[in-house]
Amino acid sequence: MAHLPFIISNTDLMSTSFTQDEIQFISCVLNSYNISIGIEASSQTNSLYESINKIKHDGDMERRVFSDPNLLQVIHLLSENINILEATKCNIASNNLPLIINFIEEFEELKSVAEIKLYMTGTEEDAKDKELREAFKSNRLLTDAIEDLQYQLKHQKEELSSELNDKLNIHKRYVDKLIQLKKQFHLQLKQNIYKSDIEITKSDIKSEVTQTDLTRKLNNIINDYDAVLNDNLVNEKILRMNRNKTEEILKNVLERYDHFIGEKQFEYEELKKE
């Protein structure tokens, strides 16, 4: 089957190798895999690879791949037809050997899987049906559980949304209250500053008045002190003159006394000698 792209793209070969019913049958089967006779060979190969890989890799190959006896019949027709065999022997156009080898391996794997599925017994079919029913029941239970969880999640989301809105409203009230308090604080601060400025101004004016009054009193005291000092100096001068005068009189008196006593003492001494 390495020359399958060459066969399905060669309409002349297909028309001379098969009857019209066989061609329609092959075309119908290949169309179910998105493959039509006469399309470019590379596109045919890629589409068939995608179909095979989709069947092979869809879960567990031994349990989930579907059986297609029609595809096996097409493979049998293509591989047993004498004209097809002769034409493929003469075909040397395919030089993409790694791709063809890979295609053959994939097709052989599909053939073996299809043969396994064709020989499935009734007991195996019942077991598979039971498994599918259990899987459906389990899926239904899981779906119900998911719906219940989704309902709980929705209800919880609504509750959390309500709580969040309440928290946001409380936060907004606190923010508004804080803004109001800040405004009040700034207003009160301005008022206190204004009052303090007025009190300081009044205090400064009062201090200036007091200082002026004290300066005036100090000047009066200084003037009074100067007057008293002058008076005291005049009195001191008079007293000093009086003292000098008294001292002079006292000195004269003492000198006369000494002279008088001296004379009397001399007379006494004279009398005493006699």
Taking 3-state DSSP, the helix, strand and coil percentages for the chain, each rounded to the nearest 5, stand at 90, 0, 10
- What are the residues whose beta carbons fall under 8 Å from the beta carbon of 51, sequence distance 6 or more? 33, 34, 35
Question: How many CB atoms are closer than 10 A to CB 95?
Answer: 7
- Please tell me the predicted confidence (pLDDT) of residue 119: 64
Q: What is the 3-state secondary structure (H, E, C) of 89-142?
A: HHCCCCCCHHHHHHHHHHHHHHHHHHHHHHCCCHHHHHHHHHHHHHHHHHHHHH
Residue 84 buriedness (CB in 10 A; 0-12 / 13-18 / 19+)? buried
Lowest mean pLDDT among 18-22, 73-77, 88-92, 239-243: 88-92
Share of the chain above pLDDT 90, in %: 5
Task: Give tens-digit pLDDT for 181-191.
Answer: 999 988 999 99
Do 9 and 42 contact (CB within 8 A), yes or no?
A: no
Q: How many angstroms separate the first and last alpha carbons of the chain?
A: 203
Do 75 and 8 contact (CB within 8 A), yes or no?
A: no
Q: What is the 3-state secondary structure (H, E, C) of 28-69?
A: HHHHCCCCCCCCCHHHHHHHHHHHHHHHHCCCCHHHHCCCCH
Say if pTM beats, i.e. exceeds, 0.85: no
- Please tell me the predicted confidence (pLDDT) of residue 170: 92
pLDDT band at 59 (very low <50, low <70, confident <90, very high): very low
